[in-house]
Amino acid sequence: MTEETKTKKAAEDDDADSKSDKGGTGPEVWQQQIVDSGSVTTKTRRGNLHCLTIIGQIEGHMTAAANTKATKYEHVMPLLAALEQSDEVDGVLFLLNTVGGDIEAGLGIAELIAGMGKPTASLVLGGSHSIGIPLAVAAKRSFAVPSAAMTIHPVRMSGTVIAAPQTYHYFERLQDRIVDFVTRNCAIDKENFLSLMMKTGEMAADVGSVIYGEEAVRLGLIDQVGTLSDALNWLYGQLK
């Protein structure tokens, strides 16, 4: 091997090491992460943030229809545990646009988010309906764009329902779990949240309420109206 060849090879090795040290943060890597998991990690001088999307239907033990966008709890739960332990991630941003879904799965994900020690922020975009509300308030700081919508309604259940007092008691206890979680993780009180949940006359053929960005902040459900840059700036501010 000539001296010129050795020099060229050494330069190539140094370039490869440099790219490796940066952790592979280029657009191609980001694109692959998004395709694989609907999430992406970015590394900057201000800190390393992981962005995770929670979209469509929260899928539980039953698989969602083939033509339905879904967030799978068996993917999200271990990812959250890994993010909490990772030395390469300083904070997590959750982008929400969900129609709700499985109560147990959604509440389980929300409990994991609420239990994270790292800075976390949620940003409600199109909507965060039903069990998506606990997911929105679980982060340490919640944001909603002005056009964001949040639908609050009583617990629903599909499939066979046995007309017995025990069924009603189960529904009531399940709803209490959701109400308790929401009121523990945001500024709204139980009485106001229940009144929104049981409101009549607002939703056609249904019971509940639809509230939007600024109203959600006024009610104490969301911390502040904001955009992507607001959520990112808050997270970076927590890393100082």
Domains of the chain by start residue, with CATH: 21-238 (3.90.226.10)
Output the pLDDT for position 10: 46
C-alpha to C-alpha distance for 186 and 114, rounded to whole angstroms: 11
Residue 23 and residue 79: Cα distance in Å, rounded?
Answer: 18
* Residues near 235 by beta carbon (within 8 Å), at least 6 away in sequence: 47, 49, 91, 93, 119, 121, 141
153 catalytic? Reply is yes
* pLDDT at residue 169 in the model: 81
User: What's the pLDDT score for residue 23?
Assistant: 46
Each residue's pLDDT, cut to its tens digit, for the chain (240 residues) gives: 555 544 444 444 444 444 434 445 555 554 555 555 568 899 999 999 999 999 999 988 777 777 888 888 899 999 999 999 999 999 999 999 999 898 999 999 999 999 999 999 999 999 999 999 999 999 999 999 999 999 999 887 776 777 788 777 877 888 999 999 999 999 999 999 999 999 987 877 788 999 999 999 999 999 999 999 999 999 999 997
Residues 6+ apart with CB under 8 A from 177: 107
The per-residue pLDDT for 236 is 97
- At 14 the pLDDT is 46
| Two structure tokens written together for 136 | 């929105």
Active-site entry in 153, 195, 209, 229: 153
The question of whether 229 is a catalytic residue gets the answer: no
The pLDDT score that the predictor gives to residue 29 is 56
With CA atoms as reference, report the closest residue to 217 among 121, 134, 143, 139: 143
Q: Which class for 12: exposed (0-12), middle (13-18), buried (19 or more C-beta within 10 A)?
A: exposed
Please report the pLDDT score of residue 211 as a whole number.
Answer: 94
Active-site residue identified among 39, 122, 128, 130: 130
